[in-house]
Chains A and B, each alone.
Chain A
Amino acid sequence: MDAAPSSVPSGSSPLRTRGDGSRGGRGRGPRRGRGGSLQENQSRGDRQPENQHRGGRRGGRGGNRGAFGAETEQNNLNAMDRLSLLPQIKPRPTLEKSEDKDGEEEVEAEVCFICASPVVHNAVAPCNHRTCHICALRMRALYKTKDCAHCRTPAEFVIFTDDATKRYEDFTDNDIASTDTNNGIRYEKSEIMEDTVLLLRYNCPDGDCDVACLGWPDLHRHVRAIHHKRICDLCSRHKKVFTHEHELFTDKELDKHMKKGDDNPGAVDQSGFKGHPECGFCRKRFYGEDELYVHCREAHERCFICDRRDGGRPQYYVNYPALEMHFRKDHFPCLDARCQEQKFVVFPTQLDLKAHQLSEHGDTMSKDVRRDARVVDMAGFNYRDFYVAEPRVGGSLREQREGRGRGRGRDPNTDAIPASSAQPLRRDEQAFQRQLAISSAPGESARTFGGQLTSAPIPAAARPPPDARSPPSVTVPQPTSDVAELTPQEQARQLRHGAVIERAQILLQHDQSKLGQFRNHISSFKNNSITATVLINSFFALFSDTSSTALGTLIREVADLYEDKSKADALRTAWNDWRAINEDYPSLPGPSVSSGSIPLGWAQTSSSSSTQSGAPKTSRVLKLKSSTAASSRSSVSQTRSWGTASSVASPLNPFPGLPPPSSAPPNNRTGTGKVNTIPWAPSSAVSSTPNSTPTSRPASTGPGRGRGTDMFPALPPAPKPQSTIFGYGSGMVRRDGLGGSGKAPSSPWGASGSNGGSGAASEAEGGAEDAGKGKKKGNKGKKQVLMNWG
């Protein structure tokens, strides 16, 4: 193999040949022998593909100039322990650079422009831009965009081909072996399709594991049970990477991942990910800042006045009552009952408030009060302040207000109003305020409302969240058995035995003959006369009326009864298998499944040797993993010198996950932490979701939501009652409002989403109505109308 440096790229060494063929072989036909030694080569070591790629590049470009070096290095690599690799790799950056310079076009032909990895298959778009098939698939399947990666031209279809030069329009229907309408991919060969489909399966991220799971829950279960690790639930839902690119964490690592990310100065595999941010109110984590922002916007409140004044960092309040407290403390809310219900009727200065009160509520004030209200209290009126203070933060305002005395300051009716000179200005302000209030109000309510609508139904449809595992532990009498274990063995066993029988009896509705069968089955399993699988099947027949959750509980209890560990495990495993196959996610691999189910639909076409497949498939999976996983690692160490043992120590790729086709709501991620707290095999519990989802839900969002609803009551079509009240003793009413407004007048009006809209409407209406009744005194009402229209 070392002798390869012949001037002809296709030298004697099979390895060489392949390497060159795949790199330099522009238009030479099939660019690599699939399934041949290349494959072995790649699966042999994680770094292998990269070496090959480098070697190949050199060979292809300059003949043997670099080939020899590459060869020897490659061999060294093979021979060496991987740990000792890193020093070896250090000098690479220079090599890499010089090569890039003198062989630019060559490089582009063999390395994907987008991901800088060797091209395995080409993807050609109608614009005749090329990427590797992995990038194209990433764009289409994960990022859900059909735009060309180069020019953003959308294309219904791209062609996956091994021909590096053939133009898109030169492909005829005859050239296409199969088509995936879902992702818009046409395959030149079915092999390419197989390679592609492979990427979309729920492959276990463990580099040495070739298991493809049936879905996210299954995969979570698998990594938990087999590798004793976990996949970040948030990442699995949001991160746009293929399943096998997700990262596996131990519990501790996951904790760190959540809180700090991989921000670890000096480590090779860090990506700048700083952890999943947490909502300070809810203690829930979100995938990223954007998701957190959306959450805060929907679930919490912001002060529009502070926002306008300070800009910059948004300050949130946990809910409207909290925001209201802030309004009262730092701003000038209108305490009129109507405005209280409408919410967000609050002003940055007292003058604004006065103006609002005169114009909005003037018609309900008594003459005296109104006159008083127009008196400018010069003591507290700092003309400067009102221009300057606005952009300032609370301080001056508060001083101003406090100087006036709290009680009086808050009372709209006894307080003075700016003189007429100031009034016009105030009205502008006020109109603006109203607009603000109105525009923010409906937004707020609509959002809350909408949030409620959209988030609630999701859990039902969505896949079982991981926290689904906990609830069963609450409802199930299993704890008794656990407790019992603490007592002397015999006793404990008896206790458990009793519990099992009792459970079985209940489930069988005290049918003695069935109970007999049940005992028989169990004892024959104990005597090795039937296998665990058979036992499960017979249970299933026997307990046909029982929900699988209950049956699962029973089976777990039965398993606990066996002293023989292997028996118990066999039984659990069998049960898990049964569930996995029969229940959780029926879709993917079965030949019976038809298309439509996301990218995986066509798994069936390709995989006659479907999921659990045999050897050839297996090696392919591993290969694909190494091709993505390994490449990243090697790339890092290749051009740079930051080799540390860490990358090797954790052979797992530095990258995370796939957007689950069946992705669940972002809300129930609270449960992630729980996954490992469950004492039983993680697998069995997963399926119990449907009932557990609701439980987790209300806890997280319920309370806030509930309030949210009555926080934004709709306005009544005609606000008559209110206005009459004011007509009588407005001063008193106001004062009441002062004291007890914390409990915003419970709204007799039905809730509705269109808060502001109706608010505005009702005002206008109110004005009109008043006019009709001849009740309108003074010109305040007119002003108000004008303002509304203006």
Chain B
Amino acid sequence: MASSQKRITKELAEVTSDPPVGIKVSLVDESNVHNWNVILDGPPDSPYAVCLLSHTSSSLANSKLIQGGKFKLLLVLPTEYPFKPPVINFKTRVYHPNITFDDKGSMCIGILKAEAWKPSSKILSVLTATQQLLSEPVPDDALESAIAEKFKSDRKDFNAEAKKYTKQYATGK
């Protein structure tokens, strides 16, 4: 596609040359700009970041051991991009109200909804919004109602669960 590739290429260049904190982007297939592999770090202030060492035994307080979970995302840009929004799926399981807790990992986020999408929105802003969503779930717009319920009613438990799954899945492997 004409316009889409050009625009995507430009955005890819921007993202790779000046990568935002906690976001790593690469192409699934070097020759195809429409499919991006994204590795998103769980925001440090969220349960999606894990401290690999317990706080007490911080003798080896190595920053490498305190890190965000590594969440793999697949970002697919339609041929109509930027006139149609990208599609993002979490390849890593996430315990989150707005992300389906299955192999699909579909995400519900305002910026990507067809009726809210603006051709001027950039992939980068989509990714930052995704990061933001990890920090601040929107339980009223949930895909996983059970998780949303837990989030609303028992935040502590929710955080614990999210942490548990982050540790289990979001290892970056």
* A and B pair up: yes
A617 to chain B, nearest CB (A): 22
A272 touches B32 (CB 8 A): yes
A609 at the interface (CB under 8 A from B): no
A115 touches B3 (CB 8 A): yes
Binds A, one of B8-16, B43-51, B59-67: B8-16
B120 touches A265 (CB 8 A): no
B57 at the interface (CB under 8 A from A): no
Assuming the contacts A268-B31, A272-B32, asked whether A241 and B9 have C-beta atoms less than 8 A apart, the reply is no
A270 at the interface (CB under 8 A from B): yes
A416 at the interface (CB under 8 A from B): no
B29 touches A265 (CB 8 A): yes
B83 touches A240 (CB 8 A): yes
B118 touches A149 (CB 8 A): yes
The complex places the Cα of A5 from the Cα of B1 at a distance, in Å, of: 34
- Residues in B neighbouring A96, C-beta threshold 8 A: 10, 13
B21 at the interface (CB under 8 A from A): no
The complex places the Cα of A116 from the Cα of B34 at a distance, in Å, of: 16
Binds B, one of A425-433, A514-522, A635-643, A778-786: A635-643
**0/1 string, A47-61, CB within 8 A of B gives 1:** 000000000000000
Assuming the contacts A150-B120, A638-B9, A639-B13, asked whether A631 and B33 have C-beta atoms less than 8 A apart, the reply is no
The complex places the Cα of A635 from the Cα of B79 at a distance, in Å, of: 15
The complex places the Cα of A365 from the Cα of B6 at a distance, in Å, of: 72
Q: By the criterion of a CB under 8 Å from any partner CB, how many residues of chain A are at the interface?
A: 47
B135 at the interface (CB under 8 A from A): no
| Interface bracket on B | 20 to 34
Interface residues of B (CB under 8 A from A): 1-7, 9-10, 12-14, 16-18, 29-35, 76-80, 82-83, 116, 118-120
Binds B, one of A135-143, A226-234, A450-458, A588-596: A135-143
**0/1 string, A646-667, CB within 8 A of B gives 1:** 0000000111100000000000
- Chain A CB count within 10 A is highest, among B5, B35, B80, B118, for B5
B2 touches A241 (CB 8 A): yes
A640 touches B9 (CB 8 A): yes
Within 8 A of B (CB), among A604-638: 628-629, 631-632, 635-636, 638
Within 8 A of B (CB), among A266-281: 266-268, 270-273
- Chain B CB count within 10 A is highest, among A116, A150, A640, A654, for A116
A245 touches B2 (CB 8 A): yes
B108 to chain A, nearest CB (A): 16
- Residues in A neighbouring B4, C-beta threshold 8 A: 271
The complex places the Cα of A638 from the Cα of B33 at a distance, in Å, of: 13
B119 touches A265 (CB 8 A): no
A94 to chain B, nearest CB (A): 9
B contact patch SS: mixed
**0/1 string, A248-275, CB within 8 A of B gives 1:** 0000000000000000011110111100
- Residues in A neighbouring B76, C-beta threshold 8 A: 272
A contact patch SS: loop
- Residues in A neighbouring B119, C-beta threshold 8 A: 114, 135, 139, 149-150
A690 at the interface (CB under 8 A from B): no
Question: Can you give 16 A-B contacts (C-beta < 8 A)?
Answer: A98-B17, A100-B17, A115-B2, A115-B6, A116-B6, A116-B7, A129-B120, A135-B3, A270-B32, A272-B79, A628-B2, A636-B33, A639-B13, A640-B33, A642-B30, A654-B1
A687 at the interface (CB under 8 A from B): no
Within 8 A of B (CB), among A115-131: 115-117, 129
B10 to chain A, nearest CB (A): 4
The complex places the Cα of A636 from the Cα of B1 at a distance, in Å, of: 10
- Neighbour of B34 across the interface among A100, A271, A640, CB < 8 A: A271
- Neighbour of B1 across the interface among A266, A267, A655, CB < 8 A: A655
The complex places the Cα of A114 from the Cα of B32 at a distance, in Å, of: 20
The complex places the Cα of A632 from the Cα of B8 at a distance, in Å, of: 11
A649 to chain B, nearest CB (A): 15
- Residues in A neighbouring B32, C-beta threshold 8 A: 265, 270-272
B143 to chain A, nearest CB (A): 12
B63 to chain A, nearest CB (A): 28
- Residues in B neighbouring A273, C-beta threshold 8 A: 79
- Residues in A neighbouring B30, C-beta threshold 8 A: 640, 642
B9 touches A267 (CB 8 A): no
Given contacts A115-B7, A265-B29, A271-B34, could you give 11 more A-B pairs where the C-beta distance is less than 8 Å? A97-B13, A114-B120, A115-B6, A116-B6, A149-B120, A245-B1, A245-B2, A270-B34, A272-B32, A628-B3, A656-B1
A80 at the interface (CB under 8 A from B): no
- Residues in A neighbouring B6, C-beta threshold 8 A: 115-117, 631-632, 635-636
The complex places the Cα of A656 from the Cα of B80 at a distance, in Å, of: 11
A166 to chain B, nearest CB (A): 21
B2 touches A632 (CB 8 A): yes
The complex places the Cα of A636 from the Cα of B35 at a distance, in Å, of: 14
B14 touches A100 (CB 8 A): yes
A283 at the interface (CB under 8 A from B): no
- Residues in B neighbouring A114, C-beta threshold 8 A: 3, 7, 82, 119-120
- Residues in B neighbouring A134, C-beta threshold 8 A: 3
- Neighbour of A93 across the interface among B2, B3, B13, B77, CB < 8 A: B13
The 10 closest A-B pairs by CB, nearest first: A272-B34, A635-B6, A115-B3, A632-B2, A97-B17, A149-B119, A150-B120, A116-B7, A642-B31, A116-B10
B31 touches A265 (CB 8 A): yes
A635 touches B12 (CB 8 A): no
A267 touches B17 (CB 8 A): no
A629 touches B33 (CB 8 A): no
**0/1 string, A146-170, CB within 8 A of B gives 1:** 0001111000000000000000000
A501 to chain B, nearest CB (A): 54
B13 touches A635 (CB 8 A): no
A406 at the interface (CB under 8 A from B): no
A125 to chain B, nearest CB (A): 12
The complex places the Cα of A609 from the Cα of B9 at a distance, in Å, of: 39
- Chain A CB count within 10 A is highest, among B14, B18, B30, B83, for B83
The complex places the Cα of A655 from the Cα of B33 at a distance, in Å, of: 14
The complex places the Cα of A245 from the Cα of B5 at a distance, in Å, of: 13
